[in-house]
Structure 1
Amino acid sequence: MIIKLSPKFGAEPLTLIKRNDTLSINGETFDFTTIPEGAVLPESAINCEYIIGDITRSNGHLIICLMLPCGPDSTDAANFPEDIVNPRNGHIGLPE
Structure 2
Amino acid sequence: MKIMFTPQLRADALSLSLDGDVLTVNGTAYDFGPLAEGGTLPREAVGCPLLASDVTRVGGHIMLALILPHGSDAPEAARFPQPITVTQTGPIPLPVTYAEEAPE
Instruction: Map residues 1-96 of structure 1 onto 2, 5 A cutoff.
Output: 1-96=1-96
Specify the code of the residue in structure 1 equivalent to 2:55: I
Structure 2 stretches lacking a partner, 5+ long = 97-104
CA distance in 1, matches of 2:13, 2:51: 14
| AA matched with 1:38 | G
1: distance between equivalents of 2:7 and 2:63? 17
Q: How far, CA to CA, are the matches of 1:87 and 1:78 in structure 2?
A: 21
- Quick one: distance in 2 between partners of 1:46 and 1:40? 11
User: Between Structure 1 and Structure 2, how many residues are aligned?
Assistant: 96
Normalized per residue, which structure has more strand? 1
Match of 2:99 in 1: none
Q: Distance in 2 between matches of 1:75 and 1:44?
A: 30
Contact 2:16-2:23 at 8 Å conserved across structures = yes
Residue 87 of structure 1: how far off its partner (Å): 3.8
Instruction: Measure, in 1, the Cα distance between the counterparts of 2:32 and 2:39.
Output: 11
CA distance in 2, matches of 1:42, 1:11: 26
Identity, in percent, stands at 39
Counterpart-to-counterpart distance in 1, 2:76 and 2:90: 25
| CA deviations over 1:43-71 (Å, ceiling 9, x no partner) | 11011110111000001110010000110
Structure 1 stretches lacking a partner, 5+ long: none
Moved over 2 A (4+): none
